[in-house]
A and B are shown apart, each in its own frame.
Chain A
Amino acid sequence: MNANRRQILGLGGGILAALLAGRRLWAQDVVTISMKGTPRGENTWFEPNGLAVAVGTRVRFVNDDPGNSHTATTYHPDLYGRARRIPEAATPWDSKFLLPGQSFEVVLSAPGVYDYYCIPHELHGMAGRIVVGTEDDPGWEGAAADDDLPDAVLAHLPPVDAIIDAGAVISR
């Protein structure tokens, strides 16, 4: 398995969205979300689990947990039949299992709210939310209704307003 798997999705859409929104196209700084866990696996989490980024930002997920494997998987019918919790214009993504030290990248081109989870740890509540752009961006789509989710996940998805206000939210 490659140490770094890269998936760049919808780049054309990202360019268009950035132009429409008047944002800098070069705002694709890489933002890292760490996958973490306690040494014996009692707790696992994304850090930050709430993140606000500009349209077109490249997000890198890194497995920094030496004792476990993790995924970053969007809620979407094309992925394990889950209800969609990303903007309709976005392409769903799934990192597959990342071993310790491995990473996965995705470019988020459609404005709106993206909810994702870790396949083996969803029932524990390992989930995260990325807010891409703002409500002023054309095509913006807010958070999906809070159904079809385990209670543990709902407890770990920060409110959209809190993420926008803080830029990044960490809650374990």
Chain B
Amino acid sequence: MFGKIASIALTVGILAAPGLAQDLGAAPPPAPYVKVADVLPLPEFLPGLGTLYVDPDTLPAGPFLAYDHDGKLSATVYMTPIAALEGGTAYDDLALGAATVTSVDIYYNAGHPGVEEPHAHVVLFHDDGAKGRLAE
């Protein structure tokens, strides 16, 4: 019973989240999203994350929309600086790229252009094969 209620609540919460009014399922997503590799010195396809798009106004947290080699939206990624979290910063009500989330990875990242400090990657995969398609 609790699981069913939680599932409904989660679904309502996701559908109410910003970002779903647009169809983001295929690359490229509409403006204000920009391809990360076009504006930062990073590879076009990042192993593990795919081809990323982001609305610059949402940096550093994102969401970053992660597309596979065929341009299919495969994950939504958030990047939250460790120092900011330790300082009490919260990142609430972040948008989603798609309503379906099949698994989540959270791990430390040492930094990269765009988020040039240690931070956490929170990766929401949108289908069972997404992780494999973004791997390399």
Interface on A for B, CB 8 Å cutoff?
A: 1, 37, 39-44, 66-69, 96-97, 99-100, 119-121, 123-124, 126
B128 beta carbon closer than 8 Å to chain A: no
Q: Which residues of B contact A96 (CB under 8 A)?
A: 41
CB nearest neighbor in B for A97: B41
Interface on B for A, CB 8 Å cutoff?
A: 41-43, 46-48, 107-113, 116-118, 121
Complex CA distance for A99 and B113, rounded to whole angstroms? 11
B48 engages A69 (CB within 8 Å): no
> Contacts A37-B110, A123-B111: A69 and B41 contacting too (C-beta < 8 A)?
yes
Complex CA distance for A39 and B49, rounded to whole angstroms? 10
Shortest CB-to-CB span from B21 to chain A, Å, is 31
Q: Which residues of A contact B110 (CB under 8 A)?
A: 37, 41-44, 121, 124, 126
Complex CA distance for A64 and B111, rounded to whole angstroms? 16
Complex CA distance for A1 and B40, rounded to whole angstroms? 13
What are 25 of the A-B contact pairs (CB < 8 Å)? Answer: A1-B41, A37-B110, A39-B47, A40-B48, A41-B110, A41-B111, A42-B107, A42-B109, A42-B110, A69-B41, A69-B42, A69-B43, A69-B113, A99-B41, A99-B42, A99-B43, A100-B43, A120-B111, A120-B113, A120-B116, A121-B110, A121-B116, A123-B117, A124-B117, A126-B110
A66 engages B43 (CB within 8 Å): yes
Q: Which residues of B contact A119 (CB under 8 A)?
A: 116
Shortest CB-to-CB span from B44 to chain A, Å, is 9
Shortest CB-to-CB span from A73 to chain B, Å, is 12
B47 engages A121 (CB within 8 Å): no
Q: Which residues of B contact A41 (CB under 8 A)?
A: 109-112, 121
CB nearest neighbor in B for A38: B110
Shortest CB-to-CB span from A45 to chain B, Å, is 9
The 3 A-B residue pairs with the shortest CB-CB distance in the complex, in nearest-first order = A97-B41, A124-B110, A120-B116
- Which of B41, B47, B116, B117 lies in contact with A67, CB distance below 8 A? B47
CB nearest neighbor in A for B116: A120
Given contacts A66-B43, A100-B43, 17 further A-B contacts (CB under 8 A): A37-B110, A40-B48, A40-B107, A41-B110, A42-B108, A42-B109, A67-B43, A67-B48, A68-B42, A99-B42, A120-B111, A120-B112, A120-B113, A120-B116, A123-B111, A124-B111, A124-B117
A69 engages B112 (CB within 8 Å): yes
CB nearest neighbor in B for A40: B48
A121 engages B48 (CB within 8 Å): no
Shortest CB-to-CB span from A63 to chain B, Å, is 10
CB nearest neighbor in B for A98: B41
Shortest CB-to-CB span from B3 to chain A, Å, is 31
